[in-house]
Amino acid sequence: MTTTQALRPATVTLAAGADALAVLVFAAVGRSAHAEVVDAFGLLTTAAPFLLGLVVGWLVGRAWRAPLRLPVGVAVWVGTVVVGLGVRAAFTHRLPLTFVLVAAVSLALFLLGWRAIAQLVARSGPSAS
What pLDDT digit, counting tens, does each position of 52-106 carry?
A: 999 999 999 999 999 999 999 999 999 999 999 999 999 999 999 999 999 999 9
> Contacts for 47-52 with beta carbons within 8 Å, 24 or more apart?
47/23, 48/87, 49/83, 49/84, 49/85, 49/86, 49/87, 49/88, 49/91, 50/23, 50/26, 50/80, 50/81, 50/83, 50/84, 50/88, 50/103, 50/107, 51/20, 51/23, 51/84, 52/83, 52/84, 52/87
Q: What average pLDDT does range 28-43 have in this prediction?
A: 88
pLDDT reported for residue 37: 79
Place 26 in a pLDDT band, splitting at 50, 70 and 90: very high
Predicted TM-score (pTM) of the model is 0.87
Place 34 in a pLDDT band, splitting at 50, 70 and 90: confident
